[in-house]
Chains A and B, each alone.
Chain A
């Protein structure tokens, strides 16, 4: 690859952005364009997958291709209201090696959006005190995601772990903390509403409806 001026690359990437109906999320993450790796981190049931499906629907509406790598079976009711189903490709990953092979395969497809739903169970199984190969595999996954993100927007969902004193942090350890370009923490506030945080400073409010999600500034 020849050296390319960065502002040209950034402009190209921004041009490749697909039309989306979540302008607040767009601003929160600094742009939903290729080159971004977005991590949605939060406790179970807070709506990470819902946000992903909303973005998939937007991308399919714009006529672009979407690739999804999922660790859990996708139900028919998720696929019900999606247009242009032939532009969506789904692959199931039940172990890290599956994930690596799928990421390599995505490279040869031309997709605008890559969603990896449920990356935590895949990677958690190889990490641990007895398994020093775990970090190497984590690194490989990071590189794989990085390569894919050159041409597409990558979004994946992670979970939380407790980090002592009742606090929670993103799962998968310190080495994984630097993997995404933006990490969005989704938490419940005192009244039970859902809040999305970026870098513990900027917040937005999430509401889940029948037709999709709504994100507004806090």
Chain B
């Protein structure tokens, strides 16, 4: 590649240092690093320490290598072990989602205000902490609240209802043992919430979380909130969203996290409902689901993109959380 190193995101001082060492193109740089084929972060840091570079350049180059050239090795894929989905507690919605929300995928929920998106977010956050014995993931979840719609009291209510449900379905002695020791506090201790008041905070939060992600699910409630009104320069907004989308994908690739993102909708010129944030954002999510309120407590979900595209399912939001509609 005859890409000059001036095009790389490294500062001028490092560029000058590299040119003095006769490294002018990206291919020259890669030639001095023969182990690019397969490596992980620790070995990059170790091997960079072996090269005799001044401290400041070494640090910057290591950062660049880890952030941008990580995992470029080609590997044959292997079908892994069965993945455990996060359920939504409504069996019709679960079967629409082919089981629930799986790790390593980005799912986008769209809807008008009042179509059940925030309730669904809270339910999914609580459902992450269901113990493995009952078919849950027993992992931590992070609920990032951009709108202010997350309510601790409601999370408490949903966790109580989940615990009651688990108590009811426990059959064997082992299961009863687990549910007797489980408390609402313990279920909720796995649900973390964060509040973001502008897009910089949101990006900073995702950056921090990406460094060492041990959450099983990251739920962003209303991504569009901060991106809709704060930007005058649309080009800048497109770039920031594109880079954010890259970061989210990298997060999904590196760790077995499920990313659930709620988006808002807008009316376009012809009066039809379109998702916010534009076409370039639409390609980020692997699945997109449109939520709509049908009647007082009945809501419907339609898949716009992904498996079972075009199918619809109904669910109900009650005091216990998301549940199935009663059979007619």
**Residues of B in contact, count (CB < 8 Å):** 63
A76 to chain B: closest residue by CB: B79
Q: Is B151 an interface residue (CB 8 A)?
A: no
B249 to A72, Cβ gap below 8 A? Answer: yes
B3 to A124, Cβ gap below 8 A? Answer: no
Report B225-246 residues with CB < 8 Å from chain A CB.
Answer: 233, 235-236, 238-239, 242-243, 245-246
Inter-chain CA distance A86–B76, complex, in Å, is 6
Q: Is A45 an interface residue (CB 8 A)?
A: yes
Known: A45-B304, A73-B105, A121-B245. A104 touches B27 (CB 8 A): yes
Q: Mostly helix, strand, loop or mixed at chain A's interface? A: mixed
Known: A100-B3, A121-B284, A125-B242. A79 touches B77 (CB 8 A): yes
B249 to A73, Cβ gap below 8 A? Answer: yes
Q: List 30 A-B contacts (CB under 8 A).
A: A44-B288, A71-B246, A72-B106, A72-B284, A73-B252, A85-B78, A88-B76, A89-B76, A91-B71, A91-B75, A94-B246, A95-B68, A95-B246, A97-B8, A97-B69, A100-B3, A104-B30, A106-B74, A120-B242, A121-B283, A121-B284, A125-B245, A128-B239, A131-B239, A137-B7, A140-B3, A144-B1, A168-B279, A171-B280, A208-B309
Known: A77-B307, A133-B7. A94 touches B239 (CB 8 A): no
B78 to chain A: closest residue by CB: A85
Q: Could you say which residues of chain B place their CB within 8 Å of the CB of A90?
A: 74-77
* Chain A interface (Cβ < 8 Å from any Cβ of B): 43-45, 67, 71-77, 79-80, 85-95, 97-98, 100-102, 104-106, 109, 118, 120-122, 124-125, 127-131, 133, 136-137, 140, 143-144, 159-162, 166, 168, 171, 208
A136 to B77, Cβ gap below 8 A? Answer: no
Inter-chain CA distance A49–B238, complex, in Å, is 23
Q: Could you say which residues of chain B place their CB within 8 Å of the CB of A166?
A: 268-270
CB of B132 to closest CB in A, whole Å? 19
Q: Could you say which residues of chain A place their CB within 8 Å of the CB of B27?
A: 104
Q: Is B148 an interface residue (CB 8 A)?
A: no
B246 to A128, Cβ gap below 8 A? Answer: no
B74 to A75, Cβ gap below 8 A? Answer: no
Q: Is B189 an interface residue (CB 8 A)?
A: no
Inter-chain CA distance A124–B285, complex, in Å, is 16
B72 to A129, Cβ gap below 8 A? Answer: no
Q: Could you say which residues of chain A place their CB within 8 Å of the CB of B58?
A: none
* Chain B interface (Cβ < 8 Å from any Cβ of A): 1-4, 6-8, 26-27, 30, 36-37, 67-80, 83, 98, 102, 104-106, 233, 235-236, 238-239, 242-243, 245-247, 249-250, 252-253, 268-270, 278-280, 282-286, 288, 304-307, 309
A98 to B68, Cβ gap below 8 A? Answer: yes
| Extra 10 A-B pairs, beta carbons < 8 Å, given A73-B105, A94-B246 | A73-B252, A76-B80, A80-B79, A100-B3, A109-B74, A121-B249, A121-B284, A125-B245, A128-B239, A140-B3
Inter-chain CA distance A94–B247, complex, in Å, is 7
B68 to chain A: closest residue by CB: A97
CB of B305 to closest CB in A, whole Å? 3
Known: A105-B72, A124-B280, A137-B7. A45 touches B30 (CB 8 A): no
A101 to B72, Cβ gap below 8 A? Answer: yes
Q: Could you say which residues of chain B place their CB within 8 Å of the CB of A85?
A: 76-79
Q: Could you say which residues of chain A place their CB within 8 Å of the CB of B70?
A: 94, 98
Inter-chain CA distance A73–B259, complex, in Å, is 12
CB of A115 to closest CB in B, whole Å? 13
B241 to chain A: closest residue by CB: A124
Most chain B CB within a 10 A radius of its CB, from A75, A85, A89: A75
B279 to A160, Cβ gap below 8 A? Answer: yes
B239 to A127, Cβ gap below 8 A? Answer: yes
Q: Contact check: which of B37, B78, B102, B253 meets A94 at CB < 8 Å?
A: B253
B233 to A129, Cβ gap below 8 A? Answer: yes
B236 to A73, Cβ gap below 8 A? Answer: no
The 8 closest A-B pairs by CB, nearest first: A45-B305, A44-B282, A124-B242, A94-B250, A89-B74, A97-B68, A125-B242, A128-B239
Inter-chain CA distance A130–B235, complex, in Å, is 9
B253 to A44, Cβ gap below 8 A? Answer: no
CB of B26 to closest CB in A, whole Å? 7
B270 to chain A: closest residue by CB: A166
Q: Could you say which residues of chain A place their CB within 8 Å of the CB of B252?
A: 72-73
Known: A133-B7, A137-B3. A159 touches B283 (CB 8 A): yes
CB of A186 to closest CB in B, whole Å? 13
Q: Contact check: which of B2, B36, B104 meets A75 at CB < 8 Å?
A: B104
Q: Could you say which residues of chain B place their CB within 8 Å of the CB of A76?
A: 79-80, 83
Inter-chain CA distance A100–B30, complex, in Å, is 11
A161 to B280, Cβ gap below 8 A? Answer: yes
Q: Could you say which residues of chain A place their CB within 8 Å of the CB of B1?
A: 100, 104, 140, 143-144
